[in-house]
A and B are shown apart, each in its own frame.
Chain A
Amino acid sequence: MKKVLLEGAGVAGLGLLLALAANHLSPRRLELTRNYFPGAPLAMPIVRTNPAGPADGSIPPPGSTAARLREHGLQLAGHDQAVQFFHDPRRAVEEVIFIDARDEAHYAAGHIPGAYAFDRFHPENHLVSVVPACQAARVIVFYCGGGDCDDSEHAAIMLRDSLALPREKVFVYDGGFNEWSARGLPIERGARNSGDLAPATPPAAPAGNEGAPR
């Protein structure tokens, strides 16, 4: 039994060393020293309920998305407000910008038109474009997939704190891209401003919905 324990310890030790080496060599490696979840620890909701909190503007209940965002100095943008920002004329001059915090594959498959890509796990790929845009903008709306996704929150905290952005211009669109596309709002495929615009088709809607609104 002692020999088995020793062999197990040897396998564990060598395995961990090789595993860390494999991670280091991987092009998609995780940086051990980077804090991927900045700010205070965010309690992950098992199931999101009442995401926006009470409608009357009172203090949201503990555990709601609104309460968590408020705790971290972020403002919640509900769906209507996100649509309002999208149609805001200031978006044309980039005073209102959207930032997509999902990974590059999801971004390329479809994103809110004009949104900047910002995969927070690989920020080095996006900082050149995102930093000046954030500094120039008056309203920055972060979003990810919606639901249990909290990448938008972490991306917002990361950029807000590292760029010393005023809190009042940072919003998180809680419904995210899933809600956006499910409601048939326009989406853009490929790169930013690729011109490949199309309305998303809601799951229940019949196929062949033609005509991009913009």
Chain B
Amino acid sequence: MSAAAARLARWVLGGLFIYLGLSKVLHGAEFLKYVQEQLLVRNPFFAGGIAAVAPWLEVLYGAWLLAGIARPAAAVIGRWQLGIVFIIMGLHKALPHPEAFLKLVRQYDLVTHPLLLNAIGAALPWFEVFCGVLLLAGVAVRGTALNLVVMLVPFTVVVIWRALGIAAATGLPFCAVKFDCGCGGGEVYICAKVIENTVLLLLSAWLLRGAGRPLCLRHTLRPGQGSADA
């Protein structure tokens, strides 16, 4: 990837973070409900605090990326964010009702064999948690990021495909389609989901390029690989 393309990707990522943060600020009540019901933060004080602070942290992080300063530190924050997101999403699917995730996977009608369907329903959530832990700890970061890219691209395609089906069946505009895609966050508007996945994909690609090396337990399993904190 050329330096210009990397810069463009960083700007897009920064812009999307700002967009996501501001949209949560503008829809504060909905985000608070998400924190309480999906992230299971029942304490009103903590839920309110998270709902009030997290969106502005996203805006701040987006501005940081746009400014292009202290990029290695920004990449580490990005790695931690990605890890936390995958841990939360994975646990949300795995507990307490993995069968709910199994049903959602089945709705895509891509896998019909019970063994394969069950294997996806059983393994995928915990695999996401595993990847999240590796990213948080900073172990095998590029290999983990590669796995995330390999998962995120087809998942995003099938989510869009299903949303198109719902839009065609209901006559709703594409961005008005809201459904539980089995992504681990309950019901979401499809356009918001696509933006979120784009952010996760760009963060993963950034790590895949070798960014986020500081504060890693073991960035690379086998020594001798270079990094590119672009």
Contacts and interface: CB of A to CB of B under 8 A. Distances in A.
Given A26-B95, A32-B119, A44 B106 contact: yes
Among B109, B114, B126, B170, find the residue whose CB has the most chain A CB atoms closer than 10 A. B126
Nearest to A149: B103
Contact of B118 (A3, A8, A12, A34): A34
Interface in B163-222: 165-166, 169-170, 208, 220-222
Contacts of B102: 30, 36
Contact of B130 (A4, A15, A31, A37): A15
B152 interface: no
Q: Chain B interface: which size bin?
A: 35 or more
Q: Chain A interface: which size bin?
A: 35 or more
Interface stretch (A17-25, A166-174, A178-186): A17-25
A16 B208 CA distance: 20
A170 to B, nearest CB: 21
A87 interface: no
A163 interface: no
B133 to A, nearest CB: 10
B35 to A, nearest CB: 21
Nearest to A33: B115
B202 to A, nearest CB: 18
Contacts of B150: 8
Given A4-B146, A11-B134, A31-B118, A19 B96 contact: no
Contacts of A47: 166, 169-170
Given A7-B142, A10-B140, A22-B126, A43 B118 contact: no
Interface of B: 94-99, 102, 106-107, 109, 112, 114-115, 117-119, 121-127, 129-131, 134, 140, 142-144, 146-147, 150, 165-166, 169-170, 208, 220-222, 224-225
Complex A-B, nearest 8 residue pairs according to Cβ-Cβ distance, in ascending order:
A7-B143, A19-B126, A8-B146, A23-B122, A121-B99, A19-B123, A22-B126, A8-B143
21 contacts: A6-B143, A7-B222, A8-B142, A8-B146, A11-B140, A12-B147, A18-B130, A19-B124, A19-B127, A23-B94, A26-B98, A30-B118, A32-B115, A33-B118, A34-B114, A34-B118, A36-B99, A41-B112, A44-B106, A44-B109, A47-B166
Given A5-B146, A11-B131, A15-B131, 10 more contacts: A6-B222, A8-B144, A19-B122, A19-B124, A23-B94, A23-B98, A26-B95, A28-B95, A43-B109, A46-B169
